[in-house]
């Protein structure tokens, strides 16, 4: 076995050799029994490693959340000041300031409400993750999300069904919707898929883990390629379209190439079978048998790929994401009105605390009043006594 | 997921689209995790590295030049981070490349060794290889990368990749051969 060919074999097995190298390997395989044996060996190795990879444990679910946490921006100065403020035990002082500023705050809030509020769809700042790129109505969103034309050689932009048929395109779509009730919308999407003759091939429902989380559902839907546009239109009616994209990959060249290669391999298989019929030495038969099994392997591999690609042309995949428009058990929302509410509640609480403290001081004073009166009386008497003594002394 | 889809996602990630990032994580997270886990052989570290790789994708999406497939680029980041972590954990620089390209001790195919390989024998044999040998095996047979792409991922010439793929298999075969000997 030639060393340079042996070095190419791993990449012959994984199907990534370019034509000249592939031809060289194949020429060598046709004459060298050792090479064929090595090829068989490598195929078993590849199979074992792939099986091992498939059995490998996936990363834990929490890893995505942890990674997201690393992407989150640092808390702003305002956030930190606010939390420091409320956690500080300076509530009595705060009460006074609050009561005084409630009226001024109300005026300021009107200004705030006028300037902000439009983007406050989701309330809490932590849900920035899901802030809609477009809260425009459905029709507008569709226009905005017109699929961009990609620069890749095999990719085109918005494709229509008729083009899909003549060019053998594998079309995939992404649809992100903002919905009010993720659970109900999921059921509607599933029903709709059934009605369109499609199937839901993957579903992940990330129910909110804690307050402030947003309920998100991901569905992967397969529908007949000709019904993709219809499916998208009907699915889009479930909620407000946040994003709608269609990608298309032209598989025509690759399908034609697969066809040609399959034909060649089948011809080779027939030729080898004829060779087998002509009796030769045991060595020759073994070599031909090995070669035949390799060809069969290649045919199966290529045929599987071919079928997969044909399937991709015949069916379109839709990646549907349903995001609820409100965080789970929403914490008090720091919108202008809510902020006034919060300030008012905190003010009232602080005022109550102050009153309680004052009453406590008063109660303490009443409880100690006999002692206090006694002390006061003694002081008075002492003062009078000293006053009387003074004239007798002078 | 096709490269065109990956590129579209990356464009959106560059615009700070978290949904696109989530999709990207879903498509490649498990593969990256398995790859770095095979290199460092430590679950906790592998998770940390996977997260680091994805954060790097988030930060570097706008800088992706598009000369290679997105997958090649991501695995390049993963390989770099994993090898870096291995070097740090050993506290010294290991000349991985020197170790990786030595010829194996026995020659000739022993097909039976691989045919008979049980899962845990394979595991033990892989563990006995250098990280670079494991990387090239994984990238070739599981990742389905070409020689040129692997050269890009691991940052070495194509000729080295070919040699490494050849000797990695030889060493694995040796290790499997040893595992079969009765103790």
Q: What CATH number is associated with residue B116? A: 1.10.10.10
Do B71 and B125 sit in the same domain of this protein?
Answer: no
Does the structure show a pLDDT above 90 at B39? yes
Do B112 and B54 sit in the same domain of this protein?
Answer: no
ipTM of the modeled complex = 0.84
Does the structure show a pLDDT above 60 at A79? no
Three-state DSSP state, A195: helix
Q: Which among B4, B33, B138 is the nearest to A247, CB-wise?
A: B4
- Residue A154 touches chain B, beta carbons under 8 Å: yes
Do B76 and B100 sit in the same domain of this protein?
Answer: no
Residue B63 is part of a domain; what is its CATH number? 1.10.1740.10
**Closest chain A residue to B161, measured at CA:** A7
Q: Between A370 and B97, name the one with better pLDDT.
A: A370
Do B144 and B164 sit in the same domain of this protein?
Answer: yes
- Residue B28 touches chain A, beta carbons under 8 Å: no
Range 186-225 of A in CB contact (< 8 A) with B: 218
pLDDT band, very low/low/confident/very high, at A392 (cuts 50, 70, 90): low
Q: Which of A43, A53, A55, A216 to mutate to test the interface with B (most CBs of B within 10 A)?
A: A53
What does the H/E/C string look like for chain B? CCHHHHHHHHHHHHCCCHHHHHHHHHHHHHHHHHHHHHHHCCHHHHHHHHHHHHHHHHHHHHHCCCCCCHHHHHHHHHHHHHHHHHHHHHCCCCCHHHHHCCCCCCCCCCHHHHHCCCHHHHHHHHHCCCHHHHHHHHHHHHCCCCHHHHHHHHCCCHHHHHHHHHHHHHHHHHHHHHHHCCC
pLDDT of residue A87: 46
Q: Nearest CA to CA, how far is A195 from chain B (Å)?
A: 27
Query: How many separate domains does chain B show?
Result: 2
Residues of chain A with pLDDT > 90: what percent? 19
Last residue of a domain, one of B37, B62, B90: B90
Q: Which among B23, B58, B109 is the nearest to A37, CB-wise?
A: B109
Does the structure show a pLDDT above 90 at A57? no
**Closest chain A residue to B32, measured at CA:** A59
Q: Which among A44, A52, A129 is the nearest to B18, CB-wise?
A: A129
| H helix intervals, chain A | 3-13, 19-31, 33-55, 62-71, 77-87, 91-115, 138-144, 161-167, 182-195, 228-236, 252-277, 282-314, 336-367, 369-393
Segment A94-118 mean pLDDT: 58
Does the structure show a pLDDT above 60 at A144? no
Segment A282-310 mean pLDDT: 85
Last residue of a domain, one of B90, B109, B128: B90
pLDDT band, very low/low/confident/very high, at A365 (cuts 50, 70, 90): confident
Q: Which among A40, A56, A130 is the nearest to B111, CB-wise?
A: A40
Q: Which among B5, B117, B169 is the nearest to A10, CB-wise?
A: B169
Do B79 and B119 sit in the same domain of this protein?
Answer: no
Residues of chain A with pLDDT > 70: what percent? 72
**Closest chain A residue to B18, measured at CA:** A129
Query: Which positions in chain B touch A59 (Cβ < 8 Å)?
Result: 29-30, 33, 46-47, 50
Do B101 and B72 sit in the same domain of this protein?
Answer: no
Q: Nearest CA to CA, how far is A53 from chain B (Å)?
A: 7
Asked whether the beta carbons of residue A68 and residue B18 sit closer than 8 angstroms, the reply is yes
Does the structure show a pLDDT above 80 at A104? no
Asked whether the beta carbons of residue B165 and residue A10 sit closer than 8 angstroms, the reply is yes
- Residue A243 touches chain B, beta carbons under 8 Å: yes
Query: For residue B8, what are the domain limits?
Result: 3-90
Asked whether the beta carbons of residue B33 and residue A63 sit closer than 8 angstroms, the reply is yes
pLDDT of residue B24: 94
pLDDT band, very low/low/confident/very high, at A13 (cuts 50, 70, 90): very high
Do B65 and B118 sit in the same domain of this protein?
Answer: no
Burial of A354 per CB tally in 10 Å (0-12, 13-18, 19+)? middle
Do B82 and B109 sit in the same domain of this protein?
Answer: no
**Closest chain B residue to A249, measured at CA:** B4
**Closest chain A residue to B146, measured at CA:** A16
For chain A, domains (ranges, CATH) are 1-57 (1.10.10), 61-97+340-394 (no CATH), 118-334 (no CATH)
Mean pLDDT of chain A: 76
Do B76 and B109 sit in the same domain of this protein?
Answer: no
Do B52 and B71 sit in the same domain of this protein?
Answer: yes
Q: What is the pLDDT of residues B97-150, one digit of tens each?
A: 444 444 444 434 444 444 444 677 888 899 999 999 999 999 999 999 999 999
Q: Which of B89, B17, B172, B60 is nearest to A243 (CA)?
A: B17
In the DSSP assignment, the letter for residue A251 is -
Asked whether the beta carbons of residue B169 and residue A130 sit closer than 8 angstroms, the reply is no
How far apart are the C-alpha atoms of A1 and A32, rounded to whole Å? Answer: 7
Do B50 and B77 sit in the same domain of this protein?
Answer: yes
- Residue B104 touches chain A, beta carbons under 8 Å: no
pLDDT of residue A140: 37
How many CB pairs (< 8 A) connect A and B? Answer: 126
Do B152 and B105 sit in the same domain of this protein?
Answer: yes
Last residue of a domain, one of B46, B63, B90: B90
């Amino acid at each position: 076995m030639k060393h340079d060919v042996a070095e190419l074999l791993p990449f012959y097995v994984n199907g990534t050799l370019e034509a000249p190298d592939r031809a060289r390997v194949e020429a060598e395989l046709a004459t060298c029994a050792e090479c064929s044996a090595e090829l068989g060996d490598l195929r078993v190795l590849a199979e074992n490693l792939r099986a091992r990879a498939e059995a490998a444990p996936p990363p834990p679910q929490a890893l995505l959340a942890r990674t997201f946490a690393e992407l989150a921006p640092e808390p702003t100065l305002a956030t930190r000041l606010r939390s420091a403020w409320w956690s500080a035990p300076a509530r009595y002082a705060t009460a006074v300031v609050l009561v005084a500023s409630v009226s001024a705050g109300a005026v300021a809030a009107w200004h705030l409400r006028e300037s902000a509020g439009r983007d406050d769809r989701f309330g809490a700042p932590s849900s920035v993750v899901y802030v809609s790129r477009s809260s425009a109505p459905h029709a507008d969103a569709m226009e905005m999300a017109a699929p961009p034309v990609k620069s890749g050689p095999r990719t085109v932009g918005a494709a229509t069904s008729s083009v899909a048929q003549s060019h053998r395109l594998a079309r995939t779509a992404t649809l992100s919707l903002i919905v009010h009730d993720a659970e109900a919308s999921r059921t509607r999407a599933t029903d709709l898929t059934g009605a369109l003759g499609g199937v839901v091939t993957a579903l992940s429902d990330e129910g909110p883990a804690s307050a402030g989380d947003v309920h998100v559902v991901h569905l992967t839907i397969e529908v007949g390629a000709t019904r993709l546009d219809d499916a998208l239109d009907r699915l889009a009616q479930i909620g407000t379209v946040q994003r709608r994209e269609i990608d298309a990959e032209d598989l025509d060249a690759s399908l034609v190439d697969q066809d040609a290669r399959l034909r060649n391999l089948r011809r080779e298989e027939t030729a080898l079978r004829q060779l087998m019929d002509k009796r030769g030495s045991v060595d020759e038969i073994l070599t031909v048998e090995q070669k035949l099994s390799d060809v069969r392997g290649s045919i199966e591999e290529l045929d599987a790929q071919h079928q997969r690609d044909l399937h991709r042309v015949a069916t379109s995949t839709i990646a549907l994401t349903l995001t609820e428009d409100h965080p789970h058990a929403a914490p008090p929302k720091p919108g202008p009105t809510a902020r006034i509410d919060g300030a008012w509640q905190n003010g009232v609480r602080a005022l109550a605390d102050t009153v309680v403290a004052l009453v406590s001081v008063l109660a303490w004073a009443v409880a100690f009043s006999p002692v206090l009166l006694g002390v006061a009386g003694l002081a008075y008497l002492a003062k009078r006594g000293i006053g009387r003594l003074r004239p007798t002394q002078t | 997921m096709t490269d065109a889809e990956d590129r579209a996602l990356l464009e959106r990630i560059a615009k700070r689209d978290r949904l696109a990032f989530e999709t990207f994580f879903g498509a490649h997270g498990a593969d990256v995790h398995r790859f770095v886990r095979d290199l460092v052989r430590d679950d906790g570290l592998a998770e940390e590295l996977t997260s680091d790789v994805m954060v790097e994708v988030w930060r570097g999406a706008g800088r992706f030049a598009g000369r290679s497939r997105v997958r090649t680029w991501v695995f390049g980041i993963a390989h770099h981070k994993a090898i870096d972590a291995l070097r740090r954990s050993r506290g010294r620089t290991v000349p991985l490349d020197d170790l990786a390209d030595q010829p194996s001790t026995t020659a000739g195919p022993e097909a039976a060794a691989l045919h008979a390989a049980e899962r845990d024998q394979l595991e033990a044999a892989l563990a006995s290889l250098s990280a670079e040998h494991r990387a090239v095996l994984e990238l070739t047979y599981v990742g389905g990368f070409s020689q040129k792409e692997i050269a890009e991922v691991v940052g070495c010439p194509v000729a080295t990749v070919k040699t490494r793929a050849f000797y990695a298999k030889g060493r694995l075969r040796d290790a499997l051969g040893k595992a079969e000997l009765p103790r």
